Amino acid sequence: MQNRLLLDLVERAGWTGAQAALGLAVVELADVPVWWAAPVALALASAKSWVAGRLVGRPGTASTLPAAKDPATPPASPGLGA
């Protein structure tokens, strides 16, 4: 269980850092005030969550981790369906 939590933490921190960096890069390239980086990063986070919930990772979550590694996936119950 600890490994799943660590993977979840690393995934969230990594995506947050990437979205913040991309937000700053976009406002620098567009030559607009730096406060626009926050809404740009928010839009990137929303888009990532939408894609992750439908195309990547565990369906119905915003995680990009595979279902086997996602802490939100309930553990398998021994003896059921075996």
The pLDDT score that the predictor gives to residue 79 is 62
| Per-residue model confidence as pLDDT tens digits over 38-68 | 999 999 999 998 888 888 877 778 888 887 7
User: For residue 1, what pLDDT band results from cuts at 50, 70 and 90?
Assistant: low
The pLDDT score that the predictor gives to residue 3 is 81
Question: Could you tell me what percentage of the chain is helix, strand and coil, using 3-state DSSP and rounding each to the nearest 5?
Answer: 60, 0, 40
Distance between CA atoms of residues 49 and 11, nearest Å: 12
**Mean pLDDT of the residues in the chain:** 85
Could you tell me the two tokens for 22? 């991309």
DSSP secondary structure letter of residue 33: -
pTM: 0.75
Give the start-to-end residue ranges of the domains of the chain: 2-54
